[in-house]
Amino acid sequence: MFKKLFVVFVTLFGVLLAVPSLSPSLAPYFPSWIQPIPLGLDLKGGAQILLEVDTEVMLKEKSAQLYEEVRSAMIDRDKGIIRFSDLHNTGDGVSLNVRDSGDMSKAKGRLKKVLGANVDVSSSGKTLSVSYTSKAREEMISDAMTRSIEIVRRRIDALGTKEPSIQSQSGKYILIQLPGVDNPEHIKELIGQTAKMTFHLVNENITNAQLESKHAPSGTLFLPMMDNPNQVLPVYSHVEVSGDSLKNSQADFDQNNMPVVTTEFDASGARRFARLTTEHVNERFAIVLDGKILSAPTIREPIPGGRGQISGGFTLQGAKDLAVLLRSGALPAPLEVIEERTVGAGLGADTIATGKIGSVVGVLFVLVFMLMLYGLFGLIADAVLIVNLLMIIGVSALFGATLTLPGIAGIVLTLGMAVDANILPFERIRDEVRSGVPTLRAVDYGFKRSTKTVLDGELTNLICALILFQFGAGPIRGFAVTLSIGVMTTLFTCLVLSKILIDYYMNGKSKKIGYIRMK
C-alpha cells in the first residue's frame, strides 16, 4: 500500500511540475522553484556571441611583470645589490647582463628562490635569461580562460540578463548565448572591456619637450586621458595600487549631485592606498583604466579607510557600467568578438510551432499504434506515455534545464524508447499466456522477466547521454540533458507506474486475454 501511495505521489508531483510550462499564466500560483522551463536561443530568439581570448597579450603582460620581479630581486638591499645592465624583455621572458661574472651563481640562486619553480633561469657568459616554463604558460592560459568565463558571467548577471549560457570552446573561445536579448551591443561593449584599473603617481618632472617628442623615459608612461585622448599625461610605470585589491564598487552621487563611482579596497589594498595618500600629500596620482586615465586628482589629505571616489564627468549609466566592470574584476586577457548572430523572436516562434506540430503528430501515431496493437493494455501504455512526457518537462524545469530544439528531439526520442520499454513486458506477457500461464501470473512474469532487458537498454542510453553531456557543447548538451532525464522517467513510468495500473485493472483476478490482442 505504501509503495502505491508513493508512486501516486511521485507521479502527481512530476505532473504538477509541468503545469507552469504548459500554461505559463498559472506560474504565479506556484512556488518560485516551480516555474516554466526556460526556452533556448533557437526557440525564444536572442543573441549569440563568440569571443576569442587573446592569451598572447596576457603572456606579454606576464613577461612585463617578470621584468619588474627580476629587477626587484637584483636590487634587493636586504640581500645585497647585484650589479647588472641591459635588462630588457625578450618577448617570452627577460634578459640581463651581470656585470661581475663572480655574481652569476649568486644571481641565479636568488632568482630561482624568489621566482620559484614557474621560471627557467639560464646563463650564457655574463648574460642571464629568465622565462616561464611551458607548464607555467599552460597553467596561465588555462587560468585566463577560467577567470574570463567567470568574469563575463558576473558582468552579464549584474545586468540582470536572464538564462545566459556561457561556455568554453576549443580552449581559446567563449560562446555566449543570451535568449530574449534583441540588441546585444551594450552587453558586447561591456563584456569586451578589460577593466584593468591601476593607480600611478604622476611624474611632474617631465618637460613639455619630452611630452611633444612622445618618447617616454625609462620608468615613465605617456597615457591619454579618457575624456580627451589628445591630452597625454606622464605617469610612473610602477603600480602603486592594483584594481585586483578592489572589494566593491557602486554608482553613487557626489555633493553636487553628479554621478560618481565609489570604491572600497580589501585589507591589503587599503593599506597600500593609505600609504600612497599619506606619503604623497599635495601630489597627483592617476586612476588608469585599460591604459587610459580616468582622472588625476591631487591628494589633499591621507585616506586611511580604504574607501575612495572616482569622478570623471560620468552619466548615470556610465557610472553604473564602470561599477559593474570594477566589481566583477579585470579580465586577465582581452576579448575579441569573432562572431555575432541574432535570432529573431519570430523565427523562434516558428520553430516552436513546427516543433509542436512534429512532436504532436509523432506522439499521436505512437498512441494509435499502441492502442491498435495491445487494446486496453495499449491504452494504459498511452496514459503512461503522456505522464512520462509531462514528467520530463516538469523535471527539466525543476533542474533549470533550458529547452532547445535538440532538447525537443531528445524528448521525442525518449518517448519512442519508452514505447519500447512498454512493448517488452507486454510481449512477454503474451508469450506467457500462449504457454498456458494464467493471465494474473503472466503479468507478474512478464514484468519480472523483461525488467533486466529494459534496464540494459535504458542504461546504455544513459551512458551515451552522459558522454554527450561531458564532451559536447551547446545544443548537444541540451539533447543529452533531456535524454538523461527521459531515461529516469521512463524507468519509473514503464516499469513501476504501468505495472500498478495493470494490477489495478486486474484487481487480483485472472481475466480473459481480450486486453492483449492475440494473432
Nearest to 392 by CA among 363, 428, 351, 423: 363
Q: Which strands form 307-310's sheet, in the order they lie side by side?
A: 246-253, 259-265, 307-310
| pLDDT at residue 519, rounded to an integer | 43
Other C-beta atoms lying within 10 Å of the C-beta of residue 266:
13
Q: What are phi and psi of 463, to 5 degrees?
A: -60, -45
| Rounded Cα distance, 457 and 516, in Å | 24
**What fold is seen in the domain 46-192?**
Alpha-Beta Plaits (3.30.70)
| Rounded Cα distance, 501 and 507, in Å | 10
* Neighbour-count burial of 493, counting CB atoms closer than 10 A to its CB (0-12 exposed, 13-18 middle, 19+ buried): buried
| pLDDT at residue 511, rounded to an integer | 58
Residue type, 50: L
Q: Which three cell numbers stand for residue 66?
A: 617578470
| Rounded Cα distance, 180 and 46, in Å | 4
Domain spanning 2-39+347-515 has what CATH number?
1.20.1640.10
195-324 CATH, one of 3.30.70.3270, 3.30.2270.10, 3.30.1360.200, 3.30.950.10: 3.30.1360.200
Q: Which strands form 285-289's sheet, in the order they lie side by side?
A: 241-242, 197-201, 285-289, 292-295
| Rounded Cα distance, 359 and 349, in Å | 15
Sign of CA dihedral 203, 206, 208, 214: negative
| pLDDT at residue 352, rounded to an integer | 67
Determine the 3-state secondary structure of 236 from DSSP: strand
For residue 464, how many C-alpha atoms fall within 13 Å in the half-sphere facing its CB? 13
* Domain map (residue ranges) of the chain: 2-39+347-515, 46-192, 195-324
Secondary element (H or E) of residue 175: strand 173-179
* Neighbour-count burial of 29, counting CB atoms closer than 10 A to its CB (0-12 exposed, 13-18 middle, 19+ buried): exposed
DSSP notation for 146-159: HHHHHHHHHHHHHT
| Rounded Cα distance, 140 and 232, in Å | 33
Q: Which three cell numbers stand for residue 31?
A: 512556488
| Rounded Cα distance, 46 and 361, in Å | 28
| Rounded Cα distance, 383 and 501, in Å | 10
Q: Do 127 and 96 touch, CB atoms closer than 8 A? A: yes
| pLDDT at residue 349, rounded to an integer | 66
Q: Which residues contact 96 (CB under 8 A, 6 or more apart)?
A: 70, 74, 84, 85, 86, 87, 88, 127, 128
CA 507, distance to chain mean position in Å, is 53
Task: Name the one residue in this structure whose C-alpha cell is 516558428.
Answer: 350
Task: Name the one residue in this structure whose C-alpha cell is 495499449.
Answer: 378
Q: Which strands form 93-98's sheet, in the order they lie side by side?
A: 84-89, 93-98, 127-132, 119-124
- In the predicted model, residues of the chain with pLDDT beneath 70 are 1, 158-163, 182-183, 192-195, 312, 328-330, 344-349, 351-352, 355, 473-475, 508-519
CA 469, distance to chain mean position in Å, is 15
- How confident is the model over 93-140, as pLDDT tens digits? 889 898 888 888 888 888 888 888 888 888 888 888 888 888 888 888
Determine the 3-state secondary structure of 26 from DSSP: helix
Angle at 82 between CA 81 and CA 86, to 5 degrees: 125
For residue 350, how many C-alpha atoms fall within 13 Å in the half-sphere facing its CB? 5
